[in-house]
Chains A and B, each alone.
Chain A
Amino acid sequence: KAGVTQTPRYLIKTRGQQVTLSCSPISGHRSVSWYQQTPGQGLQFLFEYFSETQRNKGNFPGRFSGRQFSNSRSEMNVSTLELGDSALYLCASSLAGAPSGNTIYFGEGSWLTVV
């Protein structure tokens, strides 16, 4: 069974640009969540999608958005990039999300560097 797949793994963008990251969850999983990891703030929850609907949202500005498709694949978009957006972005999938008690599996992440 394939794991959570994230693309691209590494990318460099310029301030002011936008970026789209993609995540393919484990087959059969309907919940996809996104997390940002930085050395200063650690791992922070961005948002969760379940059956194409955003179910939960963390405390991030509106520049961070996402969506989920009918096949459960998800994308997140960051517009008007700032230097502080440089981070490892992690996608996680599970059958039903937290706090259902399902194991939540993470992908390898997308390393975003903003210059």
Chain B
Amino acid sequence: SQQGEEDPQALSIQEGENATMNCSYKTSINNLQWYRQNSGRGLVHLILIRSNEREKHSGRLRVTLDTSKKSSSLLITASRAADTASYFCATDALQGGADGLTFGKGTHLIIQP
């Protein structure tokens, strides 16, 4: 089942601009992870944020988590052409890992040079 829903489904911006992607989920979670996937490749782990954290940074990435709204956002600053990829949020359920990680359908990000 798809717990996470990314928004927007597709995003096209100019190189150098910031890109923001949002993720909503349905059930209480322990952790939320963001992944990047280049076309036809595997998933690259970007950042993990725990349910008791509100914000995390990693390089040009900033992730926020609002458990009261069951939502998270991924901000990529100063975008580069190499950031062109699909981005997925993945959650694990608070009640246990019966469903493993649950992924949204992803945001396809295109960085125009």
Contacts and interface: CB of A to CB of B under 8 A. Distances in A.
Interface of A: 4, 6, 33, 35, 42-48, 55-56, 58-59, 88, 90, 92, 97-99, 101, 103-109, 111
The 7 A-B pairs of least Cβ separation, nearest first, read A45-B100, A99-B92, A98-B92, A99-B30, A43-B103, A106-B43, A108-B42
A6 B29 CA distance: 29
A43 B100 CA distance: 11
Most buried by A among B30, B42, B100, B102: B100
B13 interface: no
Contact of A99 (B2, B96, B104): B96
B106 A97 contact: no
Nearest to A45: B100
Nearest to B42: A108
Interface of B: 1-2, 29-31, 33, 35, 40-45, 48, 50, 88, 90, 92-94, 96-106
A103 B33 contact: yes
B4 to A, nearest CB: 10
Contacts of A108: 41-42
A99 B94 contact: yes
A56 B100 contact: yes
Nearest to B96: A99
B28 to A, nearest CB: 10
A47 B97 CA distance: 10
A103 B50 CA distance: 11
A46 B90 CA distance: 15
A42 B105 contact: yes
Nearest to A111: B40
